[in-house]
Amino acid sequence: MSAPDPRLSINQATIKYSNLEEALRVTAGAGIHAIGLWREPVNEVGLDVAARMLADSGLRFSTHCRGGFFTLPDGPQRRAALDDNRRAIEETATLAAAGADGSTAVLVLVAGGLPEGDRDLIGARERVRDAIGALAPDAKAAGVTLAIEPLHPMYASDRAVVSTLGQALDIASDFDAEVVGAAVDTFHIWWDPQVLEQIARAGREGRIATYQVCDWKTPLPADVLLGRHYMGDGVIDFASLTQAVVQTGYDRDIEVEIFNADIWADAPEHVVRRTAEAFTATVSPHLR
Amino acid sequence: MSAPDPRLSINQATIKYSNLEEALRVTAGAGIHAIGLWREPVNEVGLDVAARMLADSGLRFSTHCRGGFFTLPDGPQRRAALDDNRRAIEETATLAAAGADGSTAVLVLVAGGLPEGDRDLIGARERVRDAIGALAPDAKAAGVTLAIEPLHPMYASDRAVVSTLGQALDIASDFDAEVVGAAVDTFHIWWDPQVLEQIARAGREGRIATYQVCDWKTPLPADVLLGRHYMGDGVIDFASLTQAVVQTGYDRDIEVEIFNADIWADAPEHVVRRTAEAFTATVSPHLR
């Protein structure tokens, strides 16, 4: 196998059952240059230790996953969620500083769904905007970019009321581009009739905080959260989407984040190798 | 129980296992004034017999379900699909003429998914536009309105490449409004950040060919086609959506179309009664 693409980053969720030590070792061991981390495995060892482990790995740090979940109305739970997001911002800054040159301080935000018993989608979306407003000064002070991630509309009720890239950009437009951007994830937005124009807009507005790739295939599994696939195994056209992102001037790491029970059950060394091969076949040709 | 709302129409798919005779009898027997039919049970008895049965029932005819499935590239299969749509147009005209006063000749179109092995979503969407262009003269001659139905984006790959109301309206805009409109179905579009403005646009452009309601709830069932629910059992805000439709001046029948294995397993008399009650509770208050 040829060397992995130098812009490939493995999002740790792709090898979900690896702890931080294994995730770093397997990723670096495969000749990959970058990794996106999740909060739980980082906090399992503690932030300082995690930062040292990351530095020792020689890997770049591409994103921290994840903050958000702030659609609740005002009250102790919402305030606790905001405080937790502030900790996530600090983690992001610390890890980005510990990663190799070219690391980026990007915190991915998943908006959260409708609160139990609530049908006011517009109100929930407004609370997302308000929460980002509350966090923006902290992010700015820490040098962290908040990446609003639009999730596929099938998650709109129970996971993320931000459903399109255009909507994420509308929310982001209230804030400085270096503080609030959007996550462009093929799985979530490939179906959108406006996807190419919204990617171009995101580029013009300087808002592409991260580009993430994986594939869509049906039938969906019983747990629709786990319906992601290696690039090339589904129907997404990585050529047009990647070219659209490249044309904006986006030149940073590209993450692969796959939630899939079969892939999680596989050996992480094999998953990382397979991911690198899929990336080389489907994404790399469009990066020139 | 009070009398069903006079604008409620039972889409036959809600009582999927009823043949035409039973569907008409149960619907009329519940004091409901209108029905939307499906091609299979109509063709089971033959169009002439079906039209006579419909006339005898005294019910209005609100839509015929369904045409479409024309994303295939040119070839015998595509031509067969277009011919089949032409038959569906004739059926729609015949049934609308047989239904009670206030019947509407509306044929619902489901676009179809990506052809096997195809990743060119934009091309598939263009073929939908082309197919509607091929059918529009037939529809016009028959006095039938083709209702492009945007389906939820989770069906974009395997069932309908038309995913938003805005996209359906963009396609429809090439044609006369009385010939090509859109189906506004709450289940498919409730999540869309642009839904209220696109409903208003559909009204302005005279394109609301049918308004259909049912609810969204998670977790989705293993077969995500069957995740529809009685209004009120899920998270959709029927107030804002129905008010938006009413404000356009839409004053025709409103269909309930529910795909749900548990509801299908229930007695059709009970399903129809329960549907009428749910409609009165969630939709009727917003029709004044």
Q: What is the pLDDT of residue B288?
A: 77
Q: Is B163 in contact with A190 (Cβ distance < 8 A)?
A: no
Q: What is the pLDDT of residue B2?
A: 83
Distance between CA atoms of residues B254 and B239, nearest Å: 14
DSSP A125-152: HHHHHHHHHHHHHHHHHHT-EEEE----
Q: Decide if A188 is inside a domain.
A: yes
Chain A neighbors of B219, CB-CB under 8 A: 158, 223-224
Determine the structural domain holding residue B224 and report its residue range.
Answer: 8-286
Paired tokens of A128? 């997302």
Closest among B288, B95, B277, B255 to B184, alpha carbons compared: B255
* Residue partners of A117: CB distance under 8 A and separation at least 6: none
Across B191-220, average pLDDT: 98
- Which residue in chain B has the smallest CA separation from A118? B235
Q: What is the pLDDT of residues B216-242, one digit of tens each?
A: 999 999 999 999 999 999 999 999 999
Residue ranges of chain A whose pLDDT lies below 50 = none
* Residue A189 at interface with chain B, using a CB cutoff of 8 Å: no
Chain A neighbors of B164, CB-CB under 8 A: 192-193
* Residue A197 at interface with chain B, using a CB cutoff of 8 Å: no
Q: Decide if A3 is inside a domain.
A: no
Q: Decide if B123 is inside a domain.
A: yes
Across B239-262, average pLDDT: 98
Q: Is A153 in contact with B217 (Cβ distance < 8 A)?
A: no
Asked if the model's pLDDT at residue B254 lies above 90, the reply is yes
Q: Residue B1: which pLDDT band, with cuts at 50, 70 and 90?
A: low
Residue ranges with strand state E in chain B: 8-11, 34-38, 60-68, 106-110, 145-148, 180-185, 208-213, 215-216, 228-229, 254-256
Q: What is the pLDDT of residue A2?
A: 83
B223 to chain A, closest Cα gap in Å:
8
Q: Decide if B1 is inside a domain.
A: no
Q: Decide if B234 is inside a domain.
A: yes
DSSP A38-78: EHHHHHHH-HHHHHHHHHHHT-EEEEEEEEE---SPSSHHH
Q: Number of A:B CB contacts under 8 A? A: 85
Q: Is B193 in contact with A170 (Cβ distance < 8 A)?
A: yes
Q: Decide if A2 is inside a domain.
A: no
Beta bridge partners of A67: A109
Q: What is the pLDDT of residue A1?
A: 60
* Residue B132 at interface with chain A, using a CB cutoff of 8 Å: no
Chain A neighbors of B220, CB-CB under 8 A: 154, 220, 224
Distance between CA atoms of residues B121 and B133, nearest Å: 19
Distance between CA atoms of residues A9 and A40, nearest Å: 19
Q: Quick count: other Cβ atoms within 10 Å of Cβ B268?
A: 23
* Residue A170 at interface with chain B, using a CB cutoff of 8 Å: yes
Which CATH number do you get for residue B204? Answer: 3.20.20.150
Interface pTM (ipTM) of the complex? Answer: 0.95
Distance between CA atoms of residues A227 and A222, nearest Å: 9
* Average pLDDT score over chain B: 97
Q: What is the pLDDT of residue A288?
A: 77
* Residue A157 at interface with chain B, using a CB cutoff of 8 Å: yes
Chain A neighbors of B71, CB-CB under 8 A: none
Paired tokens of A272? 């990382």
Percent over 70 (pLDDT), chain B: 100
A157 contacts A103 by C-beta, under 8 angstroms? no
A148 contacts A162 by C-beta, under 8 angstroms? yes
Distance between CA atoms of residues A287 and A276, nearest Å: 15
Let me know if B71 is exposed, middle or buried by CB neighbors in 10 A (0-12, 13-18, 19+).
buried
Q: What is the pLDDT of residues B144-156, one digit of tens each?
A: 999 999 999 999 9
Q: What is the CA radius of gyration of chain A?
A: 18
* Residue A278 at interface with chain B, using a CB cutoff of 8 Å: no
Q: Decide if B53 is inside a domain.
A: yes
Q: Quick count: other Cβ atoms within 10 Å of Cβ A76?
A: 8
Question: Reduced to 3 states, what is the DSSP secondary structure of residue B111?
Answer: coil
* Residue partners of B31: CB distance under 8 A and separation at least 6: B3, B4, B276
DSSP B53-65: HHHHHT-EEEEEE
Paired tokens of A177? 């581009």
Distance of CA A124 to the CA centre of its chain: 21
Q: Decide if A90 is inside a domain.
A: yes
Q: How many domains does chain B have?
A: 1
A153 to chain B, closest Cα gap in Å:
6
Q: Is B220 in contact with A154 (Cβ distance < 8 A)?
A: yes
Paired tokens of A88? 């996530």
Q: What is the CA radius of gyration of chain B?
A: 18
